[in-house]
Amino acid sequence: MTGTAKAGTAGQRRTVFAVDQDAVLAALGEAWADGGYHAFSADHGTWSAISSAGQVLTRITADELDRKIRAHWQAKQSQGAGR
């Protein structure tokens, strides 16, 4: 085993554990846009999103960001149900 896998284009290689940031950002956008989250980014090791209320949510990995968004969204739903 060499520890690398082919990336999307011929001749490029990335490590097995490297993340295709563009694909992940697109998936996060698709999953959360209807929930009021946008401007997904991954810069310098920080993944982030902005809520419809303008809150910036950040985490170190895409998975952590997804969990943070889910918790934030659930809290918003709970607040709305209590009105």
Q: How confident is the model over 12-58, as pLDDT tens digits?
A: 676 777 889 999 999 999 999 999 999 999 999 999 999 999 999 99
25 part of a folded domain = yes
Let me know if residue 1 belongs to a domain.
no
In a domain, 15, yes or no: no
What pLDDT was estimated at residue 14?
Answer: 66
What domain range includes position 49? 20-81
76 exposure class (CB count in 10 Å sphere: 0-12, 13-18, 19+) = middle
Which residue type is seen at 34? D
Mark out the alpha helices in the chain (DSSP H runs). Answer: 21-32, 62-81
Residue 12 lies in a domain: no
10, part of any domain: no
Q: Is residue 2 part of a domain?
A: no
Domain count, the chain: 1
Residue 66 host element (H or E) = helix 62-81
